[in-house]
Amino acid sequence: MSTLALKGSYWVTVRQYRRTLWTAGALVALSLAVIGGLRIWSGRIPDRRLPDGTWVPADESRGYEMLRLAMEYAGTGLILLPLLAGAFVAGPLVAREFESGTYRLGLTQSVTPTAWLRAKVLTAGGAALAITVVLMGVYRIGWTRVSGSYQLSWGDRGPYEATGIVLVAYVLAAVAVGALVGQLIRRTVLAMAATGLVMGLVLFVLGSLRWGFVAVETVTGPVRRGGAPLDVPDNGIMTDLGMLTRDGERVEGWSCVDGASPETCGAPTDVVGQYVDYHPESHFWPTQLIEAGILLALAALALLAAFRLLRARLP
């Protein structure tokens, strides 16, 4: 057991932030109790079967609606988790040490600057990784019951991050960025705000670009009566739709209903059909792997810059 015990700077870091770790553990346990309880409650009323053979929750299943609402909030919370992890590393873990000067005490205990920062990054990264994985497991307990409902499909924000590997990559990238920003700014509150801003920007940019990582698939067909678009196969997510002209050109955006004059809806006169671009569910893992690779590359660059900066300032 003694070989497994934390030693040196690792022990100091855990000891210093043990209350934060206990608080995080309590919140994880609370989330498990809430989601688990709602999942059990939602199953007390049997589902009803539709004429087409599919099963849906009973109309009177209040437990299901409560679980669905909880999963929407849970998805949002997990998306914000990298911001919290990065802000904690940048502020209390790194910047406050420089702001107060307490890092000098650690460096007097036969600890090199590189070993000091490595202990903080590895300890924070390990704790954040463990908490993230457990929360993702808790999320799956509830999501498997409500998956496919409004805003809880596999490609929606929240379920996409929480049911794959990109959330882990986001958290690791946040830890690395926090270690760099904390050294650059050296002011606790400013470092936390800057790291949150950087990771928020990363979340926004990658969230906007992710469905361009893999080529879309396309389904075409005639213009339907009533103007309804084509059905998206393979439980896919639609990315674009529009009309097709006789020479194969696309007119983006939905417009004409069957039988309506092109002048009325502003469409060309030679419209012969419609198209829908979509990502099938099979694109989930390729997209996850590409996005996670980008994030891990960002984490590696941030860590490299953080250690180089530390050696330059504290040789």
Side-chain half-sphere CA neighbours of 194 within 13 A: 19
Q: How far apart are CA 214 and CA 62, in angstroms?
A: 39
Instruction: Decide if pLDDT at 174 tops 50.
Output: yes
Average pLDDT over residues 144-163: 91
Q: Cα separation of 135 and 269, whole Å?
A: 54
Tokens linked to 166 = 């990109």
pLDDT of residue 254: 59
Higher local confidence (pLDDT), 153 or 55: 153
**CA-to-CA separations, 105 to 65, 89, 179, 181, 210, in angstroms, rounded:** 54, 19, 19, 22, 45
Alpha carbons 156 and 208: distance in angstroms, whole number = 12
**Least confident segment among 7-16, 184-193, 196-205:** 7-16
**Taking a C-beta distance cutoff of 8 angstroms, is the pair 302, 267 a contact?**
no
Average pLDDT of 249-275? Answer: 63
Q: What integer is the mean pLDDT of 248-267?
A: 59
* Whether the Cβ atoms of residue 256 and residue 167 lie closer than 8 Å to each other: no
Mean pLDDT of 87-108: 84
Of residues 221 and 47, more confidently modeled = 221
Query: Strands across the sheet with 237-245, in order?
Result: 217-221, 271-279, 237-245, 250-252
Residue with tokens 């589902």: 47
For position 3, what pLDDT does the model report? Answer: 42
- pLDDT, tens digit, for every residue of 66-75? 999 999 999 9
Looking at residue 2, what is its pLDDT?
43
Tell whether the model's pLDDT for residue 28 goes beyond 60: yes
Start-to-end CA distance of the chain, whole Å, equals 35
- What mean pLDDT comes out for the span 97-122? 81
DSSP collapsed to 3 states, the chain: CCCCCCCHHHHHHHHHCHHHHHHHHHHHHHHHHHHHHHHHHHCCCCCEECCCCCEECCCCCHHHHHHHHHHHHHHHHHHHHHHHHHHHHHHHHHHHHHHHCCHHHHHCCCCCHHHHHHHHHHHHHHHHHHHHHHHHHHHHHHHHHHCCCCCCCCCCCCHHHHCCCHHHHHHHHHHHHHHHHHHHHCCHHHHHHHHHHHHHHHHHHHHHHHHHCCCCEEEEECCCCCCCCCCCCCCCEEEEEEEEECCCCEEECCCCCCCCCHHHHCCCCCEEEEEEEEECHHHHHHHHHHHHHHHHHHHHHHHHHHHHHHHHHCC
In single-letter form, the type of residue at position 57 comes to P
Query: Can you tell me the distance from the alpha carbon of 270 to that of 259, in angstroms, rounded to the nearest whole number?
Result: 13
CA distance 182 to 126: 18
pLDDT at site 58: 59
- Output the pLDDT for position 43: 78
Q: What is the pLDDT at residue 234?
A: 82
Confidence of residue 54 (pLDDT cuts 50, 70, 90): low
Mean pLDDT for 246-274 is 64
Query: What span, in angstroms and rounded, lies between the C-alpha atoms of 19 and 84?
Result: 16
Please give the average per-residue pLDDT across 139-168, as a whole number.
Answer: 92
Cα dihedral 10, 11, 13, 19, rounded to 10, equals 140
What's residue 227's pLDDT?
A: 61
